[in-house]
Amino acid sequence: MSRRRFLSWGGVVAALAFTPGLLGGAAPSSGASAADSPLFALGVASGDPLPDGVVLWTRLAPRPLARGGGMGNQSVEVNWEVAADEAMTRPVRRGRAFADVDNGHTVHVDVRGLAPGREYFYRFTARGERSAVGRTVTAPAPGAEAPMTFALASCQSWADGFYVAYADMAIRAPDLVFHLGDYIYEKPIHRGGGRRHTMAMPESAARECLDLDDYRERYALYRLDPHLQEIHRTSPFVTTFDDHEVDNNWAATIPEDGTPVPEFLVRRAHALRAWWENTPVRRAQQPRGGDISAYRRLRFGTLADFAVLDTRSHRSDQVNGDTDVPQNAATADPRRSILGATQERWLLDGLDSSRARWNVLAHQTPIADLARDDDGQRAVSMDGWSGYEACRTRVLEGARARGATNLVSVVGDIHRNVVADLRTTYRRESDTLGVELAGTSISSGADGEDSDDSDRALKAASPHVRFGSAQRGYVLNRLSRDRWEAEFRVADSIGSASDRLHTRAVVTIAAGRPDVDIV
């Protein structure tokens, strides 16, 4: 198949050798590139596939690490084309768009008129230069029940190590990649680039992101990574944001620290604008001032409905000092929500109308209590759904009342792999209503280990946890009518760009039974 020719491990390693600064050595010490890079130096991407279309993305930046990407205030015409073959000899759609300064010289093309369940290839042309050829896949037809593959990714702190998980993922060329948040980290990067040992960073990398240019430059730094570029080129993404795209553990209008709310709202608007600019999502997700409609639903025939949630923009503030503490009256307060009332209704309405075999919640923080014993008390995170017990009960009981079959929650955030039961409460015995798959980080937290102290502590205090590990990697899912197979791929180290992954476990969920088998 053409997608199998799309990438080899040798090609990834070879690409690294020609990427300035990523492997150390003689890299420029200033924020600007030593010389102009290609116009499409930040690569191409596709996302949010529909049965008849997909979003195509690119960003023009001949000097990616310089302020403004070296584009100035110019508006540039960008031509795009979609073909049925990798050689681009059988074109099916083409058109033009404009990359302008208001959108950070990014292009979002919502291509329609494609056939369902098909592999396509695409590229961009501007100023006589051509981008790399990307591969994408449309969603199946509404009545189809074709099997699919999709990967789960999250938490990719650039300075903590190399994105070898993406190199491994790209070889497997899944039909879809869900990125569940923390695509960038807003905190300062130490001079020298952490484990990357490079000085090739924008000047703003030395400080926390605050304004639009800071966030744009942070995305540019991350998107220069060849492993990340390769998986974007190979598979379409469905992207949502968590906290670090804006500010650690932010909640609606409330920042992490004591920043005045008006000042934080400006910062949030800049951050969300940069998120939209740099991800392959539709115009419907483009922020309007400080507001954003990031939650959305994607249907893949009759096989699966994916509700992509936003658990940051509309949530109530964290209680109990936003620390790991026992649940109490504040966490059980029915007035509080991690989704907000409007999104809660939207989610339950969608489950009510779903006729899919699998109903999937794709979001940021775990629904399940990941409890640990703290001096004889059962402590849980206040940032996840454990701190919003009433909301959790409303959603899960609502799903049961609406007859939503085969409920699965997929999340990131916690930098570890965890498989757990979905229950309305974990303080006492209750029915298991589904399964939660928490995927580990791509790089955040550095190497990790198979079982660290936190892993052992949560397993001891959380009998509903069926599997856990704390190494870096991703989850590769194979979904069919009768079964969901989740392969947990992990790396022993991410300190080198050529490190490899292996299979740590394969978790199988049989349709109609909210339980797991683990090999």
Q: Contact 3/135 with Cβ under 8 angstroms?
A: yes
- When mean pLDDT is compared across 18-22, 59-63, 212-216, the lowest value belongs to 18-22
In 3D, which of 72, 134, 88, 89 has the Cα closest to residue 109? 134
Whether residue 113 is found in the same domain as residue 160:
no
Query: Of the candidates 136, 158, 178, which is a domain's last residue?
Result: 136
Whether residue 284 is found in the same domain as residue 355:
yes
**Residues 6 or more apart from 404 whose CB is under 8 A from it?**
351, 354, 359
What is the per-residue pLDDT for 37?
Answer: 63
| Nearest-angstrom CA–CA distance, 215 and 267 | 10
Instruction: Give the count of beta carbons closer than 10 Å to the beta carbon of residue 319.
Output: 18
**Residue given tokens 């804006």 in the structure block:** 246
Whether residue 289 is found in the same domain as residue 401:
yes
Whether residue 172 is found in the same domain as residue 213:
yes
pLDDT in tens, 444-493: 999 999 999 999 999 999 999 999 999 999 999 999 999 999 999 999 99
What are the Cα distances from residue 94, in Å, to 79, 87, 119, 142? 7, 15, 16, 25
What is the average per-residue pLDDT within 94-101? 98
Please determine, for residue 234, whether its predicted confidence score (pLDDT) is greater than 70: yes
Query: Of the candidates 73, 103, 136, which is a domain's last residue?
Result: 136
- Judged by DSSP in three states, 455 sits in helix
Please determine, for residue 28, whether its predicted confidence score (pLDDT) is greater than 90: no
DSSP string, 352-415: HH---SEEEEE-SS-SS---EEETTEEEB-SSSGGG-HHHHHHHHHHHHHTT--SEEEEE-SSS
User: Domain containing 114 — which CATH number?
Assistant: 2.60.40.380
In 3D, which of 474, 383, 400, 403 has the Cα closest to residue 437? 474
Whether residue 122 is found in the same domain as residue 148:
no
185 located within any domain = yes
In 3D, which of 277, 362, 306, 293 has the Cα closest to residue 45? 277
Whether residue 155 is found in the same domain as residue 266:
yes
CA 12 to chain centre: 21
Query: Of the candidates 108, 136, 164, which is a domain's last residue?
Result: 136
What is the per-residue pLDDT for 393?
Answer: 98
Supply the range of the domain harboring residue 330.
Answer: 143-518
What is the average per-residue pLDDT within 98-127? 98
**Residue given tokens 């960073």 in the structure block:** 201
Whether residue 189 is found in the same domain as residue 298:
yes
> How many structural domains comprise the chain?
2
Whether residue 86 is found in the same domain as residue 158:
no
What is the per-residue pLDDT for 45?
Answer: 98
Whether residue 316 is found in the same domain as residue 427:
yes
| Nearest-angstrom CA–CA distance, 337 and 311 | 9
pLDDT in tens, 285-336: 999 988 999 999 999 999 999 999 999 999 999 999 999 999 999 999 999 9
22 located within any domain = no
Whether residue 229 is found in the same domain as residue 130:
no
Please determine, for residue 363, whether its predicted confidence score (pLDDT) is greater than 70: yes
Whether residue 316 is found in the same domain as residue 448:
yes
444 located within any domain = yes
In this structure, what token pair is assigned to residue 154? Answer: 């999250």
Please determine, for residue 94, whether its predicted confidence score (pLDDT) is greater than 60: yes
Please determine, for residue 137, whether its predicted confidence score (pLDDT) is greater than 70: yes
Whether residue 223 is found in the same domain as residue 116:
no
